[in-house]
Structure 1
Amino acid sequence: MKITFSDDAPHFDGSSLKLAFVAYVDGEAVACAITAEALEDHFGANSAQEDELLRAFERGRARIRSVCEQALEHNDGASVELHSGVFRMDEE
């Protein structure tokens, strides 16, 4: 399974408080997201405001992509939503 990521900025979804981004699994676009809670808990976002979340995403982009890649491999390339607990497990 070949996994790559778009370099486009993630999209803020204010109704669900998450940032959506795209991964490509074997060339097919797969919707992925990270919650505001995860960005606050692990990447230094000071609030769930869009600008704070985007800055936190940029700070943590490499780790977010790494954890997302692991999740995509684990679930056969299906859509992924990264919650705070996924990053806590990654730290252990």
Structure 2
Amino acid sequence: MQIEFPDHRPVFNYEDLTIEFAVVVNGRSIDCAVSAEALEDHFGAYSAGADDLLHAFEHGRTDIHALTREYLTMGLSGPVLLRSGHFRWVREARRQAARR
């Protein structure tokens, strides 16, 4: 499975309070987004305002892309919406793996 993250600017979706970003899987565009709550809880967004969320997305881009890749490789064909709980799940899984 070939997963690419084109160098396109993320977009603030006012209706859903998400940041949408580009992902191409095997040549097909997939809708992906991360919630305002996730950006506030895990990437330092100060508010649900567009500028704060976009700044937090840029700060957490590597982790956001990594989790998106993980979900897509599990067989999800899209769309992907990452919420705060998804990032908590990853952190807890890493914590448990470190204990072993």
Fold match by TM threshold 0.5 = yes
- Contact 1:72–1:79 (8 Å) recurs in 2: no
Does residue 1:37 correspond to 2:51, yes or no?
Answer: no
Aligned length, in residue pairs: 92
Q: Distance in 2 between matches of 1:31 and 1:81?
A: 8
Q: Distance in 1 between matches of 2:72 and 2:15?
A: 24
> 1:51 — aligned with what?
51
Q: Distance in 2 between matches of 1:70 and 1:45?
A: 23
Q: Which has the larger radius of gyration?
A: 2
Q: Name the TM-score, length of structure 2 as normaliser.
A: 0.88
Structure-to-structure mapping, 1:20-31, within 5 angstroms: 20-31=20-31
Q: Distance in 2 between matches of 1:18 and 1:76?
A: 20
Deviation at 1:9, TM superposition (A): 1.2
Deviation at 1:47, TM superposition (A): 0.2
Deviations 1:14-34 (A, max 9, x none): 111001111110111101000
> 2:68 — aligned with what?
68
User: 3-state DSSP class of the match of 2:46?
Assistant: coil
Does residue 1:7 correspond to 2:7, yes or no?
Answer: yes
Q: Distance in 2 between matches of 1:14 and 1:78?
A: 21
The one-letter amino acid paired with 2:48 is A
